[in-house]
Amino acid sequence: MSREATASGGDRNEYVDLLRGASIVAVVVGHWLLTGIQYRAGEFTGVDAIGYVSWGSWATLVLQVVPVFFLVGGFANALSWSRRSAAGSTWADWLRLRMRRLLGPTSAYLAVATLCVVVAQAAGVSANNLYQAGWALAFQLWFLAAYAALLVATPVLYAAHRRWGAAVPGVMSVVAVPISAVVIQWRWHLIGWANYVLVWGVFHQVGFAWHDGRFAGRRARAAALFVGATLALAALIGWASFPVSMVGVPGARIQNASPPSMALLMFGLAQCGVVLVAEPFAARWLARHPTGRTLARRGAGLSMPIYLWHMAPVVLVGVIGYPLGWLAQPPLGSKRWWVEHLIWIGVLIVVLAGVLAILTASRSVWRRVTTRARASLRVEPVTAATRLDGALIVAGMVVICAALGRLAVGGLAPDGRLDVPGLIAFVVGAVLVGVPWPLRARLKAARVRLAGAGGIR
């Protein structure tokens, strides 16, 4: 790793932490800022405020930061896989370890959200309100599905990167562009799903190159990436009628985000260029400011729970505040709406802080319980995964990606009823990925040792 890759002189990349924290703030602000809620005759309707704000589409050029998440994910996965594989770790063991960091928080979130939907359904909440709340609580899961797909392919993609370098994201881009054109021209949305892996995967591959130091001391490369992608984006918007908005716009003929279009591809590459150009400046600033490094680390550590839970306060405040008349409903985009909206965002910040405090306390308790359980079991780890173990992991990853994609598109309660098949599929996939196939052999070996010591009769 280059010196510019670390901000504090150690192995930890503080700039990556800063990017994670800043990006999650942009995501939350974007979702809260451009989300409107209407409440009429006991029924809720979620409204995308972009269509009611003249500058809303332009704001997405700042608030759409998902490419940064995949860039940082590529950096982190390259770092983790290169170290683990050099130490003798297998692909299956590495993938299981990485996925557990996603599956644990996601499983807890889905468990709580599912319980809330079940209670609301039993209380007689209308089908429309259940659908609206269930979608708001699940739409962000699409990112985890796309990221998990790239995670399972990381060893292969990283090996390809080491051999062919920039040719890999180049080929991915070449394939993604005609897919985008086909979706726009003939509405073949099924083939468009491939771009969720190809387009986001391009930024993931740039993260590999960043980790390997291919931009270190070569700011001109990053600058060229930014300039070239920006010019291409301007041409697509100005001459090819692609929308300015880098998120979905209801009713628009061309959508940049669902599935990711060639315009979003260029936008993301330009964003990667900015991030890489800014790295040495940010690294020097972080090296001189320990408080900044501390905040960056804490922000990075909270990025996953914030991402999962940031829409929960929207639902909670909405279902309480609107029926009780605590929240006004001025015309969307009006001056009064903005005043009320900023107050509403302030309330959401307070509620989210409370949610994070509860999660932090719960995680501490869970860690103590699981640590004691592992210590009492004393099961020896199996370093080599069997072929069956690897096959089960792949099957589990496919099921997880499909389940998360289904929940993100339809919500937790499509048609006002809990999506039981989608949730069961997620649980099955999580078990296949999270529980190693040799576990039964490990437990049997532990039982034999305990029996020999007189612990079992």
Sign of CA dihedral 364, 365, 366, 372: positive
Query: How do beta strands 43-48 and 35-40 pair?
Result: antiparallel
Backbone angles phi, psi at 243, to 5 degrees: -70, 155
| Nearest to 143, CA basis, from 328, 401, 448, 361 | 401
- The model's confidence at residue 56, banded by pLDDT at 50, 70 and 90, is confident
- Per-residue pLDDT at 456 exceeds 70: no
The residue assigned the tokens 């800014």 is: 278
CB 203 within 8 A of CB 71: yes
Q: What is the pLDDT of residue 185?
A: 83
**Separation of alpha carbons 40 and 171, rounded Å:** 50
C-beta atoms surrounding 173 within 10 Å:
18
CB 48 within 8 A of CB 30: no
Q: What is the pLDDT of residue 371?
A: 57
Q: What is the pLDDT of residue 445?
A: 54
- The model's confidence at residue 377, banded by pLDDT at 50, 70 and 90, is very low
Backbone angles phi, psi at 48, to 5 degrees: -80, 115
Helix (H, G, I), strand (E, B) or coil at 43: strand
Estimate to the nearest angstrom the gap between the alpha carbon of 230 and the chain centroid: 25
- Per-residue pLDDT at 50 exceeds 70: yes
> In the predicted model, what is the mean pLDDT of the chain?
86
- The model's confidence at residue 3, banded by pLDDT at 50, 70 and 90, is very low
CB 177 within 8 A of CB 265: yes
Burial of 375 (0-12, 13-18, 19+ CB in 10 A): exposed
User: Over the range 102-139, which residues count as b (16 or more CB within 10 Å of their CB) and which as e?
Assistant: bbbbbebbbebbbebbeebbeeebeeebbbbbbbbbbb
- Per-residue pLDDT at 146 exceeds 60: yes
- R_g of the chain computed on alpha carbons: 23
CB 369 within 8 A of CB 78: no
Q: Measured between alpha carbons, how far is residue 66 from residues 12, 19, 87, 273, 293 in Å?
A: 22, 11, 31, 14, 22
CB 254 within 8 A of CB 241: yes
Helix (H, G, I), strand (E, B) or coil at 170: helix
Q: What is the pLDDT of residue 436?
A: 62
Estimate to the nearest angstrom the gap between the alpha carbon of 429 and the chain centroid: 18
Q: Which secondary structure element, helix H or strand E, spans residue 47, and what is its range?
A: strand 43-48
**Separation of alpha carbons 214 and 173, rounded Å:** 19
